[in-house]
């Protein structure tokens, strides 16, 4: 081999050795930067945490509700027939007892007139037999038969009067009429809705709230109400609470009356209410991000002696960013607020950032 070829081979070998040495140094440097196992190594979770401590819980409840009229009814006839009288002025205010509709009762009126004529005759016959009975001119059984006939006629008249009354619709209370659905001369049945009648002199609110508030909400509590389209904040007072919790929604229904309504507030409107409850001076609050969602139970992860520990908790009031813990944690516990998707039981945990307030 010539001297030139030897020099060329030597250069190639030195280049390869140099590149290998550089690669080896980089690998060694990378290993040097990696922490030892058990001291922040691959099985150590870097996470941020929150130190549990007592705080004052301003227990403000926000809920949704619906405005209701004090009284509302759908006006429907009790009998079928042709409408012969109709006095429903849409949107008008009517007094209690006002005649609004009349169904044809000509046949019933004719029957009652016939019975009234029979009553006159039966009354006279009874009185005549009563005089004869005094002188033993008739038997007692004849007198009793005449009296019974008169009583039957009177009962038939009363029955017809009730049937005639059913052909009328009168306002059951004072209020405002809604839109009319029929016209004069229409044939109606008991299923026909003629119009609605609402008493809006006093407005109510039905509010649904989670069942956990059942022990802290009472009649007499005041609520601030906001209705879309109104800048004014309305006040409402709770007057009653449903004595049971809905099994399907797990909500509690509360009814309140609006203390300062205005004429433009309409039943059926959506209302957002805010209720200030008694503050809890020593509440254990944790960030909502520390909660691990679970269908069966609520749990968090705490760092105990550098190890991850899953803890089941019971929760109370929830705010926009915090959750009250009623059992399962104590003051001084550090709950993890990050890395919850990677953490496993007994995994090594290194807290990189500790917050003492849930807003940090």
> For each successive 10 residues of the chain (360 residues), what is the average pLDDT?
59 64 59 47 80 82 91 96 96 95 96 95 94 89 94 96 96 95 96 95 92 86 91 92 91 92 87 84 87 82 91 82 88 90 90 70
Contact, 330 vs 304, CB < 8 A?
no
Sign of the CA dihedral 351, 357, 359, 360?
negative
Residues 206 and 112 grouped into a single domain? no
For residue 34, being part of any structural domain is answered with no
CATH number for the domain that contains residue 331 = 2.40.420.20
Cα–Cα distances in angstroms (integers) from residue 59 to residues 35, 235, 239, 285, in the given order: 46, 19, 21, 12
Give the pLDDT of residue 356.
Answer: 61
For residue 317, being part of any structural domain is answered with yes
Last residue of a domain, one of 229, 252, 276: 276
Contact, 146 vs 198, CB < 8 A?
no
Radius of gyration of the chain (CA): 43
pLDDT digits (tens, 9 = 90+) for 252-267: 999 999 998 887 889 9
Residues 348 and 303 grouped into a single domain? yes
Residues 271 and 230 grouped into a single domain? yes
For residue 289, being part of any structural domain is answered with yes
Which domain covers residue 142, as residue numbers?
Answer: 75-188
Give the pLDDT of residue 26.
Answer: 62
Cα–Cα distances in angstroms (integers) from residue 131 to residues 70, 106, 119, 136, 149, in the given order: 59, 38, 19, 9, 17
Query: How many domains would you assign to the chain?
Result: 4
Give the pLDDT of residue 213.
Answer: 83
Give the pLDDT of residue 37.
Answer: 45
Residues 106 and 206 grouped into a single domain? no
Give the pLDDT of residue 164.
Answer: 96
CATH number for the domain that contains residue 263 = 2.40.30.170
Residues 140 and 154 grouped into a single domain? yes
């Amino acid at each position: 081999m010539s001297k030139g070829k030897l020099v060329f081979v030597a250069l190639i070998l030195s280049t390869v050795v140099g590149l290998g040495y550089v690669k080896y140094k980089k690998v060694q440097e990378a290993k040097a930067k990696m922490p030892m196992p058990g001291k922040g190594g691959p099985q150590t979770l870097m996470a941020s945490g929150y130190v549990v401590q007592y705080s004052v819980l301003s227990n403000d409840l926000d809920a949704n509700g619906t405005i209701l009229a004090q009284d509302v009814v759908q006006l429907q006839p009790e009998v079928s027939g042709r409408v012969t009288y109709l006095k429903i002025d849409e949107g008008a205010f009517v007094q209690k007892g006002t005649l609004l509709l009349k169904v044809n009762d000509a046949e019933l009126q004719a029957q009652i007139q016939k019975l009234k004529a029979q009553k006159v005759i039966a009354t006279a016959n009874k009185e005549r037999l009563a005089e004869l009975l005094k002188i033993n001119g008739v038997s007692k059984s004849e007198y009793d038969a005449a009296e019974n006939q008169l009583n039957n006629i009177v009962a038939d008249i009363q029955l017809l009067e009730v049937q005639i009354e059913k052909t009328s619709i009168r306002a059951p209370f004072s209020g405002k009429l809604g839109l009319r659905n029929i016209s004069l001369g229409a044939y109606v049945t008991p299923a026909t809705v003629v119009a609605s009648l609402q008493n809006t002199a006093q407005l109510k609110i039905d509010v649904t709230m989670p069942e956990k508030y059942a022990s802290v909400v009472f009649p007499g509590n005041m609520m601030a109400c906001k209705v879309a389209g109104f800048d004014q904040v309305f006040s409402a007072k709770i007057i009653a609470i449903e004595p049971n919790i809905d099994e399907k929604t797990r909500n509690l229904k509360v009814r309140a009356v609006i203390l300062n309504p205005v004429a433009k507030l309409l039943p059926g409107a959506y209302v957002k209410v805010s209720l200030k409850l008694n503050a809890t001076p020593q509440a254990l609050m944790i960030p909502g991000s520390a909660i691990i969602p679970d269908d069966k139970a609520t749990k968090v992860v705490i760092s105990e002696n550098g190890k991850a520990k899953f803890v089941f908790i019971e929760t109370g009031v929830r705010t926009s960013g915090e959750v009250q813990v009623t059992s399962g944690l104590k003051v001084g516990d550090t709950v993890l607020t990050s890395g919850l998707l990677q953490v496993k039981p007994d995994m090594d945990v290194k807290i990189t950032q500790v917050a003492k307030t849930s807003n940090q």
